[in-house]
Amino acid sequence: MWYMKIERDIINLFKAWKEAPDRKPILLKGARQIGKTWAMESFGKECFKYCVKFDFDRQPELKSLFEITKDPKRLIKELTLYCEQPIIAGETLVIFDEIQECEEAFNSLKYFCDEAPQYHIIAAGSLLGVAVKKRRMTVPVGKVRIINMFPVTFKEFLRASDVRTYEYINSLDEIRHLPEIIMNKLRTEYRRYQVSGGMPEAIVSLLEDKGVGEVESTLQGILDLYELDFAKYAEPREIPRIHAVWHSLPAQLSKENRKFVWKVIKTGARSKDYEDALLWLEDAGMIHRIFSVSKPGMPLSAYEETDAFKVYACDCGLLRRLAHLPATVVTDPIANYTEFKGAMAENAVLQSIMPLLDDQKPYYWTSSGTAEVEFVIQWDDEIIPVEVKAENNISGNSLAVYTKKYSPRCRMRFSMLNLQYNGGMLSSPAPLAGWMDKWMTLLRRITE
């Protein structure tokens, strides 16, 4: 398959789940075209003697099995008639793909959890969150482990594009200046990543030197597929509104203050008319909505301000293509595309840290419009302010205002400057945002 070369970190999460004594079936969620099916099959081939996949979209005849019985033992017996490999507890990974097409199969997960936990089952589907809401399906809460999958991060991209640089970064055991040759490689690969984004097919087109035209064609194809999904999964009256919100993203992020403004969608637009469209895009995994907090208190969710938020795309490559920003502008370090350059930087950093947050939501903080910290993250028992700068210019007093007001023990800045630590501030190259867990470990070692 076309993205076989890209090793995904989620496989390690699957491996830990495989050995867990209190294992539940996995319900895998994520945007379209990020490689969910490939990840499940790769895990099955690598870690199990057998791997069987049942696709409820391509094999509609499977639905009748789940309509007849909910008994896991009988279901396993019947399912073996539809596959060439045996289904043996502990030796076979069972994949239920496009599970949203069969509500009875969706419900069967709770019975597998209660009555047949010895079987390893992963279920996934296209636009799972949207389909569940549309068909009023009940998620078997407490009976499944919900895992969110994201597009390829820069960390995963670097492992595929420049393994020696990846291994050098991975081996760091202290915060210190990186050699200039490493910095140059990081800058080059990061700009290439911002061209392709995290969609596996686009990355492979880039890494196999098929040309920018092929990358652009791939990304446009994914955007076109998303548009078709609007028509397939959304209510007819919501389709134009979802389209309008989605296409407003570049304009929303081009503002110096990136707070989402309804009238940017359309003159006179109101939240009550477009809120459902925004929720649809969230449920589809196509956007991240980042809310403001009134203060960085613990827990952050207690200080969420629901009427103030920013919206980012799930993938920086799709955002670039949606904005019709040429790849040549992104790869030019001195190109001047002002506010949108900052938006691209923020989107890429967010994309790197989302998989590290273990379902914690990032927020942002603003002070009466005079200062703004791009992301505020709850990391274990600490609140970490995170500033993002597009290049080497780190002017601005927002983080200083925040620090004076709240005195955080640790704070972070991602830019294109070298790695260093100074008085509670970690300054990291933006390409290394995906190693934030490493930096937090090292910071605690320094400050404790």
Domain boundaries, the chain: 10-148, 154-239+314-447
Cα-Cα-Cα-Cα dihedral sign, residues 72, 73, 78, 82: positive
| CB neighbours of residue 410 within 10 Å | 19
What is the pLDDT tens value at each position of the chain, 448 positions in all? Answer: 444 468 999 999 999 999 998 999 999 999 999 999 999 999 999 999 999 999 999 999 999 999 999 999 999 999 999 999 999 999 999 999 999 999 999 999 999 999 999 999 999 988 888 877 777 777 777 899 999 999 999 999 999 999 999 999 999 999 999 999 999 999 999 999 999 999 999 999 999 999 999 999 999 999 999 999 998 889 999 999 999 999 999 999 998 788 999 999 999 899 999 999 999 999 999 999 999 999 999 999 999 999 999 999 999 999 999 999 999 999 887 777 767 888 999 999 999 999 999 888 999 999 877 899 999 999 989 999 999 998 887 777 899 999 999 999 999 999 999 999 998 899 999 999 999 999 999 988 887 7
Residue 372 DSSP label: E
Whole-number pLDDT of residue 1 = 44
Report the distance separating Cα 390 and Cα 33, nearest Å.
27
348-386 per-residue burial string, b: 16 or more CB within 10 A, e: under 16? bbbbbbbbbeeeeebbbbbeeeebbbbbbbbbeeebbbb
* CATH (residue range 10-148): 3.40.50.300
Rounded Cα distance, 168 and 146, in Å = 33
pLDDT at residue 389, rounded to an integer:
92
pLDDT of residue 391: 81
The CA–CA distances, whole Å, from 194 to 4, 279, 319 equal 21, 26, 9
Q: What is the DSSP letter of 118?
A: T
CA distance 143 to 23: 10
pLDDT, position 392: 81
Q: Given this model, what pLDDT does residue 2 score?
A: 45
Rounded Cα gap, residues 164 and 227, in angstroms: 39
Q: Residue 93's closest CA among 123, 64, 69?
A: 123
Residue 3's pLDDT is 45
Question: How far apart, in whole angstroms, are the C-alpha atoms of residue 84 and residue 87?
Answer: 10
Q: Is 427 left (phi over 0), alpha (psi -120 to 50) or beta?
A: beta
Cα of 77 vs its chain's centroid, Å? 36
Given a contact cutoff of 8 angstroms between Cβ atoms, the answer to whether 54 and 93 are in contact is no
Could you tell me which of 362, 360, 339 has the C-alpha nearest to residue 349?
Answer: 362
Could you identify the residue written with the tokens 């990543």?
Answer: 193
Q: Which two tokens stand for residue 375?
A: 């992301």
pLDDT of residue 379: 93
